[in-house]
Amino acid sequence: MTTTLTPRRPRPPAQPATLRAKRLPAYAAPAIAVAALLLAAALVYGAGIGGPVLVVVVGALLYLAGLFVMANAVEGRRSARNRTWSALIHSAFVLAVLPLASVVWTLVSKGSERLDANFFGTSMNNIGSRDANGGAYHAIVGTLQQVGIATLITVPLGVLCAIYIVEYGRGRFAFTIRFFVDVMTGIPSIVTGLFVLAFWVLIVSPWFNDGRPGFSGFAAALALSVLMLPTVVRSTEEMLRLVPAPLREGAYALGVPKWKTILRVVLPTALPGIVTGIMLAIARAAGETAPVLLVAGGGAAINFNPFENNQSSLALFVYQQAGEASRYSPARAWTAALTLVALVLVLTVAAKLLSRRNRLGR
């Protein structure tokens, strides 16, 4: 007797369980934000308790609450917490950027009034309060000379001091240097101006000026270098400490001397961070007013010699024009402030581009 076995049909494959969870639609967050702002405006203006700033604050709180409730109902509690904290982080970013955007917008809108050839090609010499002309050419020259001389003095001293602290400094002497650098970080700018006034202007400069004290742009550069030095030292020190130890050890294993390892390996690796610290110090020095007023005296005429006679700067020019009782002075002050910010920005971008061309990056 022959038995015939009928083959069984293969079962259809089981459908895999989907890993997709319910998600809020893409338009949910913007819709909640718009509804929160409208509700906040209705509450604030209806009660008469505030203005646009309070509307934004209340709207942000309502947005966070509404987003959490909607996400919790659709996606679950864990996803709701994630969305809420992400919204808080983005809100903190916006709050940090808003003051910067406000400053830039104010500078551009108010400083563009005097962006002309007369402003950049003339000085305030023989310009009265009723004259609409007059510019900041003398202040631009003074800022470039003073900050340039201060940079030439500060950068070698600051970088070499940081190299000593990180690579060679041991014991109490290195600790003392680090301590005084930290103390110098908090010195007010007016104190540095008084120090240079008492030391250089009143004691040293009479030796070169027939016994008479003399203001000069070089004295202002000395005061600015005192302000820049701790920033350069601290930033360079931190960047040098971030250089990986295996880079140094590899160079030592190949028989490279320590000084050449620092020059060819350590400094090129830390160069972008060092340049950033130097530019921060330059930006601070370019915006100082008190030291320039104390030891350079300011002035309305153009002075190309930083070692003789009074000299102005853009920061001092802004201060003087803001206090003038003239309807033309505010426009000159705003344009000078915009020029100062643009000058620092151009120097920063140029330094960043140059710092990328280091030996290890080729």
Q: Are 312 and 138 in contact (CB under 8 A)?
A: yes
Q: What confidence score (pLDDT) does residue 361 get?
A: 47
- Measured CA to CA, the distance from residue 121 to residue 100 in angstroms comes to 30
C-alpha distances (whole Å) from 241 to each of 1, 175, 281 are 91, 16, 20
Q: Are 217 and 258 in contact (CB under 8 A)?
A: no
Write down the residue that tokens 């919204």 correspond to: 87
Question: 342-361 in b/e burial notation, b at 16+ Cβ within 10 A?
Answer: ebbeebbeeeeeebeeeeee
Write down the residue that tokens 């020190």 correspond to: 237
Report the candidate in 299, 294, 298, 320 with the shortest Cα–Cα distance to residue 192: 294
Q: What confidence score (pLDDT) does residue 9 get?
A: 63
What is the chain's Cα-based Rg? 31
- Measured CA to CA, the distance from residue 222 to residue 228 in angstroms comes to 10
- Measured CA to CA, the distance from residue 334 to residue 107 in angstroms comes to 7
Q: What confidence score (pLDDT) does residue 360 get?
A: 47
- Measured CA to CA, the distance from residue 303 to residue 139 in angstroms comes to 9
How many residues appear in the chain?
Answer: 362
Is residue 314 helix, strand or coil?
A: helix
Is residue 102 helix, strand or coil?
A: helix
- Measured CA to CA, the distance from residue 193 to residue 201 in angstroms comes to 10
pLDDT tens-place values along the chain, 362 residues long: 455 555 566 665 555 544 566 788 888 888 998 999 899 999 988 888 878 878 888 888 899 899 889 888 888 888 888 888 988 898 888 888 888 888 889 999 999 888 889 899 999 988 877 788 888 999 999 999 999 999 999 999 999 999 999 998 888 888 898 899 988 888 889 999 999 999 999 998 888 888 888 899 999 999 999 999 999 999 999 999 999 989 888 988 888 899 899 999 999 999 988 998 999 899 989 989 999 999 998 888 899 999 988 999 999 999 989 888 788 899 999 999 999 999 998 888 888 887 776 544 44
- Measured CA to CA, the distance from residue 147 to residue 263 in angstroms comes to 26
Is residue 235 helix, strand or coil?
A: helix
Q: Answer positive or negative: Cα dihedral of 186, 160, 266, 361.
A: positive
- Measured CA to CA, the distance from residue 149 to residue 341 in angstroms comes to 19
Task: Record the pTM.
Answer: 0.79
Q: Answer positive or negative: Cα dihedral of 228, 233, 238, 242.
A: positive
Find residue 311's DSSP bridge partners.
297
Angle ∠(235,241,246) on CA atoms, nearest 5? 150
